[in-house]
Amino acid sequence: MSTKSRLAMILVALTIFGCKGPLQTSAASAEGASGASSGEGSSSGGGIRTENVPDPTMDNITAYSLKVPASWKFQGVLLQGGQATCDSFATLTWKATSPDGLSKMEQMPQMLWVYGNGPKPAHGCLPINNAMSAHDFLKHLASMMGLEYKSDEPLPDENAKFQQGWRDTDAKGSAFYASHNLPAPKNTGEVAGAIVGSRIGSTPIKGELKAWVHCAETTRPGFHSILQGMPSTPPAVTGKCTADVAYLSAPESQFAGLSRLWNSPEMASAQNHEWGDAWVKRYAQQGDIMTKNLIAQTDAKFAAQRQEIAHTMAVQQQVHDQFLATMQRGTDMSMARAMDSMNARTTAASDMVDYSLDRQTVMDTNTGLVYKLTNQVTPGGSLVQVHGNGTP
């Protein structure tokens, strides 16, 4: 997926998930937040305070603001994600705990998995190899957490709204993908709840798990190569699912009151839009830098390959020239030896002829002229004896 298409999906995800308060429902009443229940009042301690979660990578600007009971302990952190992991954008995780430690409200770290025969992230994914409904995922998660899964909790209104949101996303994104000749991902979303049970010491604990599960399937059409050395790539489908999970747990006598408290509109979390805009802008800039670095690395690789080819050709030319020079020297030496051998044979033959004819060959050192004389004459003066062929 290109940087632009990833950025489009991130904008959508931040819009849908960024301002979502865990266990927040429209049916909850403001009266529930006042602590009318005796069990609720003993756990909330009365009053509500605001907690801000900063982004340490952006000068600690507030990313999210949350409401928690005034006496509860709070821990929150913004997870940044990463390009090589399952999670590619920032997500919020936090936990609030009652003073006695028996009740808690938790937005768990986002859980992700990938399935299909397409490319997959290097790490950070759950070992799940198929699409999974929200209810099935909660059953799987409850088992992993060692919780007793007691019953499904239907959430028809929230589920319908969540599914419609992703259908609208598909409709809005279709033009973008069509304009870039890209196959549009198919988005599906589902919200599910479950009632679970556990114990802390001798105290029975009732819990509610709630999951927002979104899956996006991306199809790659494949490529049929007609060039030698360039392999074809088969069609591939990659599905990526994310699950945002909220978990409320409390002693059974306090659960109903705390459920009303945490589901009330007063407890809704809020994303700092200034931070969201800055984060998306930075993500886009990082994507541009990565693209430019990739292009630079590719150019450098090609330049190195060209330099290596030029060096190899120069070495081959040098070896070729040395080979030809060696061959030429060998030929010259061979011809010289052949000439010396021929001259030697010619000299011996000419001397043998002179001997057979009882004559000698002399040279006038003044004129360089060669004469044949009888062996009865002794040369003198400027005449010197030479071989029969005139060589000294």
- b/e burial code for range 337-375 (CB count within 10 A of at least 16 → b): eeeeeeeeeebeebbeebeeeebbbbbeeeeeeeeeeee
Q: For the CA atoms of the chain, what is the radius of gyration?
A: 46
126: closest CA among 247, 210, 243, 219? 243
Q: Supply angle C-alpha 266, 188, 246, rounded to 5.
A: 35
| pLDDT for the residue 28 | 32
| pLDDT for the residue 199 | 95
What are the CB-based long-range contacts (under 8 Å, 24+) for 148-151?
A: 148/196, 148/197, 148/198, 149/194, 149/196, 150/194, 150/195, 150/196, 150/197, 151/194, 151/195
The amino acid sitting at 210 is: K
Global pTM reads 0.64
- The edge-to-edge listing of strands for the beta sheet with 48-55 is 48-55, 61-69, 270-271
| pLDDT for the residue 290 | 67
Q: Which domain holds residue 381?
A: 357-392
How many domains are there within the chain? Answer: 2
- 291 phi and psi angles, rounded to 5 deg: -65, -45
The amino acid sitting at 359 is: R
| pLDDT for the residue 308 | 78
> Based on the domain organization, do 240 and 365 belong to the same domain?
no
Q: What is the pLDDT along the chain (392 residues), one digit of tens a residue?
A: 444 444 444 444 444 444 444 444 333 333 333 333 333 344 445 799 999 999 999 999 999 999 999 999 999 999 887 656 677 678 899 999 999 999 999 999 999 999 988 777 767 788 898 889 999 999 999 999 999 999 999 899 999 999 999 888 888 888 888 888 878 888 999 999 999 999 999 999 999 999 999 999 888 877 777 767 677 778 888 899 999 999 999 999 999 999 999 999 889 889 999 998 988 888 788 767 767 776 777 777 777 777 877 787 888 888 878 878 888 888 888 787 877 777 777 777 777 877 777 787 878 888 878 777 787 777 777 888 878 777 88
In a domain, 166, yes or no: yes
**What residues are paired with 69 via a beta bridge?**
48
Token couple for 20: 């979502």
| pLDDT for the residue 18 | 43
> Based on the domain organization, do 249 and 374 belong to the same domain?
no
> Based on the domain organization, do 150 and 10 belong to the same domain?
yes
In a domain, 281, yes or no: no
In a domain, 209, yes or no: yes
- Could you give the C-alpha distances from 57 to 64, 90, 142, 271, 274, in angstroms and in order? 14, 11, 33, 16, 14
> Based on the domain organization, do 156 and 27 belong to the same domain?
yes
Burial of 15 (0-12, 13-18, 19+ CB in 10 A): middle
- 187 phi and psi angles, rounded to 5 deg: -100, 135
In a domain, 283, yes or no: no
68: closest CA among 110, 107, 16, 102? 107
> Based on the domain organization, do 264 and 387 belong to the same domain?
no
Tell me which residue has tokens 């952190």. Answer: 77
Helix (H, G, I), strand (E, B) or coil at 66: strand
In a domain, 282, yes or no: no
In a domain, 329, yes or no: no
| pLDDT for the residue 81 | 74
In a domain, 278, yes or no: no
In a domain, 347, yes or no: no
269: closest CA among 59, 63, 29? 63
Q: Supply angle C-alpha 189, 191, 193, rounded to 5.
A: 155
